[in-house]
Amino acid sequence: MPDISKFRMLLTCVLGVVATIGIARFAYTPMIPEMARGTGMSESVAGYLAAANYAGYLSGALLISFIHSLALKARLFKIGLITAVLTSMAMALTTLEPVWYLLRYLSGLSSAAGMLLGGGLLMHWLMKRNHKAELGIFFSGLGIGIVITAILAVIIKDIFSWDQQWLVYSGVTLVLIIPVWFWLPDFSVEQPLAKHCTKHSALPSSFMPVLQLAYFCAGAGYVISATFLITIAESIEALAGQGWMIWLVAGISCAPASALWDKIINTTGQWQALFIAYILNALSILILLLSQDLAAVILSALIYGASFIGIVSMMLSMVGRLFPDNPSKPMSRLTFSYGIAQVIAPAIVGYMAEYYGNFNNGLMLTLAIMLTGSIALIVAQRIQHHAGLASAPLSHQT
The pLDDT of residue 244 is above 50:
yes
Q: Is residue 89 part of a domain?
A: yes
Domain membership of residue 44 (yes or no) is: yes
Q: What was the pLDDT predicted at 111?
A: 93
- The reply to whether 398 falls in a domain is no
Give the domain CATH number at 21. 1.20.1250.20
Per the structure, the complete domain to which residue 138 belongs is given by 6-386
Asked if residue 140 is part of any domain, the answer here is yes
- Residue 295 counted as domain residue: yes
Residue 199 has pLDDT above 50, yes or no: no
Q: Say whether pLDDT at 394 is over 70.
A: no
Exposed, middle or buried: residue 140 (CB in 10 Å: 0-12, 13-18, 19+)? buried
Q: According to the per-residue pLDDT averaged within each range, which of 1-10, 156-165, 194-203 is highest?
A: 156-165
**Residue 197 above 50 pLDDT?**
no
Confidence category of residue 201, pLDDT binned at 50, 70, 90:
low
Mean pLDDT on 293-313: 89
Least confident window among 4-13, 133-142, 277-286, 362-371: 133-142
Q: Is there a domain that residue 394 lies in?
A: no
pLDDT in tens, 310-320: 998 899 888 87
Task: Measure Cα distances from 322 to 327, 380, 398 in Å.
Answer: 8, 14, 11
What pLDDT sits at residue 79?
96
Give domain status of residue 359, yes or no.
yes
Domain count of the fold of the chain: 1
- pLDDT score at 193: 60
pLDDT at 340 over 60: yes
pTM value is: 0.79
Position 354 pLDDT exceeds 70: yes
pLDDT at 313: 86
What pLDDT shows up at residue 154?
A: 85
Q: Residue 176 domain-assigned?
A: yes
Mean pLDDT for the chain overall: 85
